[in-house]
Amino acid sequence: METRSALDKPDPRIEGLLARVREDICGELLAINDYSLHAREADLLGMDKVALVLRQILCGEKEHLAHHIKLLLENDPEQADILAKVLGAAI
Ligand SMILES: [Fe+2]
């Protein structure tokens, strides 16, 4: 039976995929900032329907972010431990 220890070399394919998930997290954060700014611009122009749609999209991006963070934490135990230490029972 095959077992893994902390001294095993990580699988580079899995490490690569986790790196891309972290990049995806960056993309979701950028999207959240962008849609937030765009919704405020629409507010300033009195374009209420546009602002509403942009805020709906913004909520979707926040959900995407949560899913990506969940994926990362399920597959990066070190990151999961650090997040648990920092956040404690905050979540
Ligand atoms: Fe997204």
The pTM (predicted TM-score) of the whole model is 0.84
CA of 20 to the centre of ligand 1 (A): 14
pLDDT in tens, the chain (91 residues): 455 565 678 899 999 999 999 999 999 999 999 999 999 999 999 999 999 999 999 999 999 999 999 999 999 999 999 999 999 877 6
* Structural domain includes residue 32: yes
* Structural domain includes residue 86: no
* Structural domain includes residue 35: yes
* Structural domain includes residue 55: yes
Indicate the residue type of 7. Answer: L
Q: How far is CA 66 from the centre of its chain?
A: 5
Is residue 54 within 8 Å of residue 35, measured between CB atoms?
A: yes
CA of 4 to the centre of ligand 1 (A): 34
Parent domain of 41: 13-75
* Structural domain includes residue 3: no
CA of 61 to the centre of ligand 1 (A): 4
CA of 54 to the centre of ligand 1 (A): 13
CA of 1 to the centre of ligand 1 (A): 40
